[in-house]
Amino acid sequence: MRHLALTCALILSSLWASADQVTLKNADRLTGTIVQSDGTTLVLHTDYAGDISLKWESVQAIDSSERLHLQMQNGKTLAGPVTTADGKLQVSTSSGTVEAPVAEVKTLRNDKEEAAYQKSLHPGVFEEWKSGLNLGFALTRGNSETKNLAIAFVATRQTLHDKLGAYANSVYASNDAPGAVPSTTANTAGGGFRYDHDIKNRLFGFVAADFFSDALQGLNIRAVQGGGLGFHAIKNDRTTLDFLGGLNYTHENYTVFTRNFAALTIGEDLTHKIGKSTVLSQDLNFFPNLSHTGEYRATFDFGTVTKMTHRLGWQNSFSDIYVTNPPAGKRQNDLVLTTGLNLSFGQ
């Protein structure tokens, strides 16, 4: 019995020694695994309460049994087990012990978080993609005979300094009743991409290409390639608001004529997370024709995706494309409203 008690004491003492400890300025002491700190909050993982967030300004001392990675306010980086003496952190680096005042620590990560951070800085070309597929279908038979299919695909790859987004969509509808005119009531398809690269904290450059066709408007293809500068007016975890300005070259091929012209690109993009499950997106773009003053094209897109499960959600989208000078007999506005299931992929 005496040997058993001694063995248990040794096991408990080894577990205590292998745990990280955080001492607060009010003398409270917490034990667990130090995960990370952003200079404002320290995250400590515990077996009894999961992750605990502590105010960094309330931390008096930390002692880690494993290596931590520190980035200082002056840009210097340190890595090693950390202890505290005389109010200063002491990092046991490979080249010796280095003192680091608590107030000068910008970020702190354990090995796992540091590996994830380094990977986010240099992701592979097929990594960090997030994508979603929207699908809506309707079919009637009996007194009416119609079918409607709407498909949309969106993919985004974002790193710390750049963002690549791509999309494709198609809407097809028909009236299958005998002798119905027109038998095809909608037939549009589009797609494109935009690449953003940060130049400074809020300023970024972009290049983009968009392609669109509308059989009922007589538009075989509209190809738009351009680029310019953008400004991050708002950029945080819940909301991003970007303003864009630049130039583009537009090629339009209708069934009755073809035209090519240069145009301005003026626009704004908004993404906002509502609660925990809904994401709202909206963008408005204006393309004045530089060759013929008074002619322009404008686009407006609005959509929401509400998650029902990890992969499955419900989406709603509205689009408006306005052209001042379509072929004779064709309307200037094309409105599209779709709703249906959203299947998400990636992280």
- Based on DSSP, count helices (H) and strands (E) in the chain, helices before strands: 2, 23
Do 96 and 159 share a structural domain? no
Give me the pLDDT at residue 346, please: 67
User: Of 89, 121, 153, which closes a domain?
Assistant: 121
| Whether residue 182 has a cis bond before it, omega within 30° of 0 | yes
- Residue 8 within any structural domain of the chain: no
Give me the pLDDT at residue 129, please: 81
SS3 312: strand
Do 157 and 97 share a structural domain? no
8 A C-beta contact, residue 33 and residue 22: no
Do 180 and 83 share a structural domain? no
CA distance 301 to 226: 19
3-state secondary structure labels for all residues of 129-151: EEEEEEEEEEEECCCCCEEEEEE
- Residue 74 within any structural domain of the chain: yes
Residues in CB range of 333: below 8 A, 6 or more apart: 320, 321, 322
Give me the pLDDT at residue 4, please: 46
- Residue 254 within any structural domain of the chain: yes
CA dihedral sign, ordered 224, 227, 229, 235: positive
Do 190 and 97 share a structural domain? no
- Residue 13 within any structural domain of the chain: no
CA distance 321 to 219: 13
Give the largest Cα separation in the chain, rounded. 100
Do 207 and 102 share a structural domain? no
Do 134 and 99 share a structural domain? no
- Residue 12 within any structural domain of the chain: no
- Residue 246 within any structural domain of the chain: yes
CA distance 173 to 24: 65
Query: For residue 149, how many other CB atoms are within 10 A of its CB?
Result: 17
Q: DSSP states of 327-345 as a string?
A: STT--SEEEEEEEEEEEEE
Do 95 and 206 share a structural domain? no
Give me the pLDDT at residue 7, please: 45
Give me the pLDDT at residue 189, please: 93
- Residue 2 within any structural domain of the chain: no
Nearest residue to 190 (alpha-carbon basis) of 168, 173, 220, 208 = 168
User: Of 121, 149, 183, which closes a domain?
Assistant: 121
Give me the pLDDT at residue 11, please: 42
Question: For the chain, what is the domain count?
Answer: 2
CATH no. for residue 241?
Answer: 2.40.160.40
Residue 252 structure tokens:
């339009």
Whether the full predicted model's pTM is greater than 0.85, yes or no, is no
Give me the pLDDT at residue 239, please: 94
Burial class (CB in 10 A: 0-12, 13-18, 19+), 341: middle
Give me the pLDDT at residue 273, please: 93
Give me the pLDDT at residue 337, please: 82
- Residue 54 within any structural domain of the chain: yes
Do 31 and 156 share a structural domain? no
User: Of 104, 121, 138, which closes a domain?
Assistant: 121
Give me the pLDDT at residue 242, please: 96
Residue in the block written with tokens 């999961």? 50
Do 139 and 99 share a structural domain? no
Range of the domain at 57: 20-121
Nearest residue to 289 (alpha-carbon basis) of 320, 332, 250 = 250
Give me the pLDDT at residue 85, please: 84
Do 31 and 107 share a structural domain? yes
Do 323 and 205 share a structural domain? yes
Give me the pLDDT at residue 134, please: 86
pLDDT tens by residue, the chain, 347 residues: 555 444 444 444 444 445 899 999 998 999 999 999 988 899 999 988 889 999 988 888 889 988 999 999 888 899 999 998 887 889 999 888 998 888 888 899 999 988 888 877 777 666 778 888 888 888 888 878 899 898 989 999 888 788 999 999 999 999 988 888 878 888 999 999 999 999 988 999 999 999 999 998 999 999 999 999 999 999 888 999 999 999 999 999 999 999 999 999 999 999 999 988 999 999 999 999 998 989 999 999 999 999 998 889 998 888 999 999 999 888 898 888 888 888 887 65
Do 74 and 147 share a structural domain? no
